[in-house]
């Protein structure tokens, strides 16, 4: 069984010198599950803790909070999402994934849609704009410069016309692959063929070791087209359905052939032919 590992790329000039953080934030926007209103760190109160506690909607729990999104309405890709479990898809993508079964689709709420065009790949001209007022405000609030692009987007006004034309989008809800191995989030016994796999993204920069290590099993993948985590793990039919809608300047993919573990004899301790 071939499986696919899929993760968001945090845009950087290191990655082919084609994208930068502004591209990333225009592409993915921002998601809140715990209400709006920023704290001094530029976060939404409660959202980060809520996610870290494993409360995001999942087939492993009963939470079905709707994702509230703030993003560019001028450019909206068919697949996006800025949190590790966010797989936000258009109606067309839902139509492609729904026949696979198991997955749920929760409608999202577009709180704010602003007029902000996606820069061309390799376009770094936004760095030359006069953003000193935002930088000074961020410095006073102790906000890191990396947050500058989405802080800039947040200052743009909502455009009502974009809400009329954007169409339906959904959060895809499935089981977390962490549930296979994590005693904290586990809701069922781990499968007997649980395997530790290291996803190989080649020479791709800025992929942390923790983002390469995955615990998964053939048994679980047979039952789930997509397992959510960082990265997501996709069955071959799920990847075939989703891949036509992905932009690989913003996503990285790795593959692995998942063979079943051999049965071990309780008497000899050796594999059973």
Could you tell me which residues are beta bridge partners of residue 175?
A: 227
Say what the pLDDT of residue 154 is: 76
Would you place residue 67 in the very low, low, confident or very high pLDDT band (cuts 50, 70, 90)?
A: confident
Are residues 236 and 4 in contact, defined by beta-carbon separation less than 8 angstroms?
A: yes
Q: What is the pLDDT of residues 39-57, one digit of tens each?
A: 434 444 444 444 444 456 7
Residues 6 or more apart from 56 whose CB is under 8 A from it? 33, 50, 63, 65, 83, 85
Strand 109-114 versus strand 88-90 pairing type: unpaired
Would you place residue 106 in the very low, low, confident or very high pLDDT band (cuts 50, 70, 90)?
A: very high
C-alpha closest to that of 200 among 258, 261, 252: 252
Helices (H), the chain: 21-28, 47-52, 91-97, 132-140, 148-154, 160-165, 209-212, 218-223, 236-242
Residues 6 or more apart from 194 whose CB is under 8 A from it? 180, 181, 215, 216, 217
Surface-to-core class of residue 157, CB atoms within 10 Å of its CB (0-12 exposed, 13-18 middle, 19+ buried): exposed
Say what the pLDDT of residue 51 is: 47
For the chain, the structural domain boundaries read 2-257
Average confidence (pLDDT) over 125-134: 59
Average confidence (pLDDT) over 216-220: 84
Query: What distances in angstroms separate CA 103 from CA 96, 97, 129, one per listed residue?
Result: 12, 8, 43
Q: What is the pLDDT of residues 173-208, one digit of tens each?
A: 998 875 444 443 344 556 677 777 888 887 665 566
Q: What is the pLDDT of residues 80-104, one digit of tens each?
A: 998 777 899 999 999 999 999 999 9
**pTM confidence score:** 0.79
Q: pLDDT over 90 for what percent of the chain?
A: 31
Tally the residues of the chain: 273
Which parts of 11-108 are beta strand (E)? 30-32, 68-72, 79-80, 88-90, 104-107
CA within 13 Å, CB half, 120? 3
């Amino acid at each position: 069984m071939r499986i696919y590992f899929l993760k968001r790329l945090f845009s950087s000039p290191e990655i082919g010198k084609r994208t930068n953080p502004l591209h990333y934030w225009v592409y993915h926007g921002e998601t809140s599950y715990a209400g709006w209103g920023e704290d001094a760190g530029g976060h939404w109160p409660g959202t980060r803790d809520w996610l870290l506690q494993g409360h995001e909607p999942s087939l492993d729990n009963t939470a079905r909070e709707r994702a509230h999104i703030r993003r560019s309405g001028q450019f909206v890709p068919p697949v996006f999402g800025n949190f590790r479990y966010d797989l936000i898809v258009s109606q067309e993508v839902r139509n492609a994934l729904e026949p696979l079964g198991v997955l749920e689709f929760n409608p999202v709420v577009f709180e704010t849609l602003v007029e902000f065009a996606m820069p061309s790949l390799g376009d770094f001209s936004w760095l030359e704009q006069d953003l000193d007022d935002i930088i000074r405000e961020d410095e006073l609030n102790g906000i890191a410069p990396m947050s500058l692009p989405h802080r800039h987007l947040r200052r743009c006004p909502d455009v009502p016309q974009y809400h009329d034309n954007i169409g339906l989008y959904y959060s895809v809800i499935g089981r977390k692959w962490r549930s296979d191995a994590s005693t904290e989030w586990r809701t069922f016994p781990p499968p007997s063929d649980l395997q530790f796999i290291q996803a190989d993204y080649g020479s791709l920069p800025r992929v942390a070791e923790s983002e390469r290590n995955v615990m998964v099993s053939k048994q679980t993948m047979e039952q789930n087209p997509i397992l959510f985590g960082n990265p997501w793990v996709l069955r071959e039919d799920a990847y075939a359905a989703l891949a036509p809608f992905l932009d690989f300047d913003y996503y990285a993919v790795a593959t692995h052939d998942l063979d079943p573990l051999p049965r071990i004899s309780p008497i000899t301790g050796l594999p059973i032919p």
